[in-house]
Amino acid sequence: MTDARTRWDKIYSDAAAELPPPCYVLQHYQYLLPKQGTALEIASGRGANALLLAESGLHTTAIDISQTANELLSAAAVARGLSINIITAPVEEALNDNHGSYDVIVVSRFLDRQLLKQLPQWLKPGGLLFYQTFVKEKAVENAGPSNPDFLLNANELLDLANKLRVRVFIDLGCVGDTSTGMRNESCLIAQKIS
């Protein structure tokens, strides 16, 4: 854990001062968010998604292993007058017994296949999962990680959705004009029906 935390602390220490925007799937489908409830961002990094969730009126928790990233998120939340519960820990430690706790879960540019299988159990009935991360079939070769362990296979997010109702799925791959559209990443919004 210490090696991973040190590596990510350095990445966030070296990052540009400007906060990146929220992920595509959350930005473009923000209107699907409930008016109230609880939200969780997993592997939140600098927390652009967590900030958007809190600004939308949701009681938001953000989990990331990097203390540096969480300090940056805390400062951004304070500057915007928002309250976000920020947890510095590996995701699997932070989420051990939170079954059925969240109305919204957001995961962006993070892939842990063991965690992926468990996400539905942390949603409340009616809860929404917003998931977006890099794929193996890239239109731009150096987009995202190079390690295939951290890249989705074609339609892999749909395997997750077999316990959820798919509301939105995007995986454009390299079809058509690859200079336009959502490329290099796959997106899913799915809902827990019961």
Number of domains in the chain: 1
* Whole-angstrom distance, CA of residue 190 vs CA of residue 164: 6
33-69 pLDDT, tens digit per residue, is 999 999 999 999 999 999 999 999 999 999 999 999 9
Q: Are 63 and 93 a contacting pair, CB within 8 Å?
A: no
Q: How confident is the prediction for the chain on average, in pLDDT? A: 90
Kindly report the pTM of this predicted structure: 0.91
For residue 89, give the CATH number of its domain. Answer: 3.40.50.150
**Residue with structure tokens 């409830």?**
37
99-153 pLDDT, tens digit per residue, is 678 999 999 999 988 888 888 999 999 999 999 999 998 888 888 888 988 998 9
Least confident of 11-15, 81-85, 160-164: 11-15
Reported as a pLDDT band with limits 50, 70 and 90, residue 160 is: confident
- Residue 169 sits in which domain range? 2-191
Percent over 90 (pLDDT), the chain: 60
Q: Are 60 and 85 a contacting pair, CB within 8 Å?
A: yes
